[in-house]
Amino acid sequence: MVENRPWLDFLAHAILLTGVVLVAFPLYVTFVASTLTYDQIVTVPMPLLPGDQLIENYSQVLRAGSTKGSAAPVSTMLLNSLVMAVCIAVGKIAISILSAFAIVYFRFPLRRFFFWMIFVTLMLPIEVRIIPTFKVASDLNLLDTYAGLTLPLIASATATFLFRQFFLTIPDELAEAARMDGAGPLRFFRDVVLPLSKTNVAALFVILFIFGWNQYLWPLLITGSESMYTVVIGIKRMISMGDAANDWNLIMATAMLALLPPALVVVLMQKWFVKGLVETEK
C-alpha cells in the first residue's frame, strides 16, 4: 500500500479533478448549448450558463427534428436506436451463449475447427466485410428494415468466447450430477448453466447495448428513409451545411437525448455489471 501523506492525497485529488473536468466539461457545454437559442449559440463567446430554451428545444426535436437538414422527429430515431440496440444485445447473447454451450458440452466432429473458425472471425471487424455484407443484405431486401439493421451485427465471436471461458470454469461434476439427476442437455442449460451465467449475461448486455446504440457505419449504409434513422445517424443528418447554418441548439439537444439511454442502462445495471466482471458464483 501507498503511504498516507497529505501531499500525496492532494496530488491524487488534483489528478482526479482534472480528469473529471476534462470528461465532464464538454458534456456540460453540450447541455448548456441545448438550452439556448440559435442566436445565443453563435455569439462569441458562447454563454456558459444554461438558457431558458430547454423545453422548447427538446420538444421541438422530439416532435419534428431540426428546422434545417433532416426533419425526422428524434422520438422516432430514439425508438429505432432502442430497437436496434436491444435486438443486437439480446440476439448476440442468445446466439453466443448457445454456441458456447454447444462447443463446451457437446462432442461433435470438427468441434475444435468450428471453435477456431469462430475465434478467427474475432479478427474481422465489421468494416472489413461491410461491402459483401451490404450486398447480401440488399439482395435479401433488408435495406431500411429492422432486420437489416440488426441481423448482420448479431453474430459475436467475442461473446461466444467469453461464455466459453466461463463455462469451462463450471466443474464437470455439475454436468455429471445433472445427468445422474436425469436432466437432458437443454434442461441442464436452462436450470443450471443459465442461472449461473446471470451476472455474465448482465455485464454483456450492458456492453452490447452500448455497442449497438453507438453503431454508426452500418446504419448509415443500410438506412435510406428518414423513418429508419437511428439517433446517431440522425445527428449526422442534421448537420447538413457549413458551420453557421445548422441548428446547433437542436443538434445539441439531440446529442443529449442520444446520450441518456446508454447512461441509464449503465447506471441501472451497474451492480450486476460489476458483479459479472469481478466475481463468479460457484
Query: Is 182 near another protein (CB under 8 A)?
Result: yes
**Min. distance of Cβ 76 from another protein in angstroms?**
41
Query: In angstroms, what CA-CA distances link 199 with 24, 156, 183, 202, 272?
Result: 29, 18, 23, 5, 6
- Which is nearer to another protein, 3 or 281 (by Cβ)? 281
Specify burial of residue 195 (Cβ count, 10 A radius: 0-12, 13-18, 19+): exposed
208 vs 92: CA distance, rounded Å:
8
Q: With respect to another protein, which residue has the nearer C-beta, 139 or 172?
A: 172
Nearer of residues 9 and 181 to another protein, judged by Cβ? 181
Among 16, 177, 186, 263, binds another protein (CB under 8 A): 177
Q: Site mask, another protein, residues 157-176, x = CB under 8 A?
A: --------------x-xx-x
Q: Give the three cell numbers for residue 79.
A: 425508438
Among 9, 52, 144, 181, binds another protein (CB under 8 A): 181
- By CB under 8 A, tell whether 196 contacts another protein: yes
> Per-residue b/e over 162-177, b at no fewer than 16 CB within 10 Å?
bbbebbeebeeeebee
Q: Does the footprint of another protein cover residue 179 (CB under 8 A)? A: yes
CB-CB contact of 42 with 212 (8 Å) = no
Give me the residues that bind another protein (CB under 8 A), please: 171, 173-174, 176-183, 187, 191-192, 195-196, 198, 281-282
